[in-house]
Chain A
């Protein structure tokens, strides 16, 4: 598990960490699309973090197809 610091970007149901060029997925959701939606939902509604905020994401970096992702377990 690593920490990734960066700027949060939220567009629609997709959240990304700009510096890592990685889409954020919520851990525990094997389906990529559901994990992506869940991550955005978690960030916005549970954590109350808005797009553009400087955040630290806890999780694992991975790749889905050719797209870098971070499977996150927490965000601050």
Chain B
């Protein structure tokens, strides 16, 4: 009988056995570079003899948002997978789903002795020739040669019967099962549905339960925290065939939202790893084979029996197993363990560093600086590796951590330790936000997001991005952490103060004491006196702003001016800054249309104030120009109203601050009047005589004394010719014709070329032409153009066709 069993293993531990002779070691004296360390040796010895070989460091806090994103990504990927496969279902229709093989083999052989055998040998006849020599001459009676023939002989041999041999055991009959055996479609569907359900289960597990997220009887969502436990394992010799256990007890902070009557421990939302396994291929082969033969007298007998059983399968050897423990005595505490088991046939747990994680949800306010406390226990438990069964705890190995660890909440809001910017000369700034930021941090300015690797450069010292200064003038920038917490991009001294953290409050450590005196006031910035706006040209104005501030001269020289959505003060729109003992005077050339469209201005330094607030702050001051400009304000310009019959022109002057304006050119022949009773600030009536119009093409206007005058175009004063029409066509040889003419009373002549025609006034809109045939106007079929002259010199022309006859009705 043969019986063997073996397993294929990933690795094997070779233990060398042999004689062991302990050689006494004396205390080493050391070398110039190395010295004996007796105290550390004692410490190691103590560790060796009094520790259980399991060391767990203080729990590490991980960014829960990061873990959440990874789990969500896994869940999303899982959601895209389907356990159902139509192809395999259809192709499996009609499959042979099984075969039954019954094989019985019985062999029996009997061999007797071999019978006697006889063999006959015939030698055949033989001839011999004899020669007679030296015969006498004349001899005739004796022949020279004599032939002798011998008769054939025959021999017979008889063989005795031999002893029988033991017959060989006959081999089994080959029998091959059908190769096309496969599960049916229904079986495959069933299996695929099981896989789909398992995927759904995993998705739900990854998403987490609502009951783990909400505080009981509250609408509060529990903050989550991810803890990591660095575990160092060393298996002492006495813990053979034992599992190392790390037990963690987490207690909710004293101040929590849990019901006093029904306390709420932290919820365990994820344990990682839940199970860590090795795939092991196990093969067993049970084979029984019996064969026998015998010789009985002259008969040989043999028989055989064969029975066999072979199994090949995969098993999973569990290295790490996470388990939740029963409710603790403390109703606010939750407890769970990780077990580390010997695997692959080894008797000891594999030593080294292990890292485990747990995600917990605490029923505490998310602004608390600590969520709760952690207490650790380590011990060993006997383990039946053959059957994978946990056995009793080894009481002598149970140790509890001397220290209770606090679970701090880390404020992931990015911190801005400084802001610099560089003027790129095209209205944009290269901004450098100093600080150290976690991966995934991005910048948001208004609607624009600056992401790492795209428009945001992430360096060890901070972040860099390019932004239009106009955007910074109207929106605050924010640094946004991947968790969504954000910080305004402001200089540190004007940031909103952060409160001091007290992350050890859960373990009774008092908060660090730091004097928190009143805030140091930043130097106020204000715009004093009146902002002066002086015209520079028909389209531009010069704005002077007097800023009063006690900020440093370096800071004052960085002040920018915002009008509308245009920022002045960078290289693309320079301004003048004149430092004064009390501040700075800013002068800028600004399109007048911009002032009219946006009648307010603001001075500011980027990143020193909340630009989204209109009120004056440090490094920011606003000034309304609504009194100076209104909806009826306009860039100064003239509009022709009329030219009277004598050639004098009337114009409307639109603009701003016109009440005190005066006309410098023409120095005579032009007047500036009020329009009815309308205020003279933004509209005036300008009258210019014909003589002045003939010599002047531009009007020079000064809005106030000592102000730069404006040069305004005078619209062309040429009068528009009145409208003159004739009922065309006109029939040949028509002698009189009625002409419709505006201002008919002012007509002085009607001309055909150089020839003056006869006409008479009918009414203020009509004249009648006379003697047309004789004057050669209608004597032939032709197109005629007549000129109608008016008193003011204006000529109107009228064209008509002279035809043979009128056809149809017009």
Residues of A within 8 A of B (CB): 13, 25-35, 37-42, 45-48, 59-60, 62, 64-65, 71-74
Contacts and interface: CB of A to CB of B under 8 A. Distances in A.
A48 B579 CA distance: 15
A34 B554 contact: no
B782 to A, nearest CB: 88
A-B pairs with lowest CB-CB distance, top 10:
A48-B552, A28-B519, A37-B492, A27-B517, A31-B498, A30-B500, A38-B492, A42-B493, A41-B492, A38-B493
Interface in B475-527: 491-493, 495, 497-501, 512-520, 522-523
B520 A26 contact: yes
A47 B556 CA distance: 11
Contacts of B552: 45-48
B492 A28 contact: no
B168 interface: no
A31 B417 CA distance: 12
B415 A64 contact: no
A12 to B, nearest CB: 9
B434 interface: yes
B564 interface: no
B551 interface: yes
A20 to B, nearest CB: 16
B493 A46 contact: yes
A28 B523 contact: no
Nearest to A72: B520
Contacts of B417: 13, 33, 37
A37 B415 CA distance: 10
B418 A64 contact: no
Given A46-B555, A48-B554, 17 more contacts: A26-B493, A26-B520, A27-B517, A28-B497, A28-B520, A29-B497, A30-B500, A31-B498, A40-B492, A41-B491, A42-B492, A45-B491, A45-B554, A46-B552, A60-B517, A62-B513, A73-B520
Contacts of B434: 13
Nearest to A30: B500
Given A34-B498, A45-B552, A45-B554, A28 B516 contact: yes
Contacts, number: 96
A61 B491 CA distance: 25
Which one of B519, B520, B552 has the greatest number of beta carbons of chain A within 10 Å? Answer: B520
Nearest to A71: B515
A73 B493 CA distance: 12
B576 interface: no
Contact of B555 (A35, A40, A45): A45
A32 B493 contact: no
B497 A34 contact: yes
B194 interface: no
A42 B553 contact: no
Contacts of A60: 515, 517
B498 A71 contact: no
Given A28-B516, A60-B515, A41 B493 contact: yes
A46 B498 contact: no
Interface size class of B (residues with CB under 8 A): 20 to 34
Interface of B: 415-418, 434, 491-493, 495, 497-501, 512-520, 522-523, 551-555
- Chain A: interface secondary structure? mixed
A31 B502 CA distance: 11
Given A29-B497, A40-B492, A62-B515, A34 B520 contact: no
Given A46-B555, A48-B553, A29 B498 contact: yes
A41 B418 contact: yes
A6 to B, nearest CB: 19
Contacts of B498: 29-31, 34
Contact of B415 (A25, A27, A33, A72): A33
30 contacts: A13-B418, A13-B492, A26-B492, A27-B517, A28-B497, A29-B497, A29-B519, A30-B497, A30-B499, A30-B516, A31-B500, A32-B500, A32-B514, A33-B417, A37-B492, A38-B492, A38-B493, A40-B492, A41-B492, A45-B491, A46-B493, A46-B522, A46-B552, A46-B555, A47-B552, A62-B515, A64-B512, A71-B514, A72-B520, A73-B517
A46 B523 contact: yes
A31 B492 CA distance: 12
Contact of A62 (B415, B493, B514, B553): B514
A26 B129 CA distance: 152
A26 B523 CA distance: 15
Contacts of A41: 418, 491-493
A28 B517 contact: yes
A65 B501 CA distance: 14
Contacts of B500: 30-32
A33 B416 CA distance: 10
A34 B514 contact: no
Contacts of A33: 415, 417
Contacts of B553: 48
A32 B491 CA distance: 16
A34 B495 contact: yes
Nearest to A28: B519
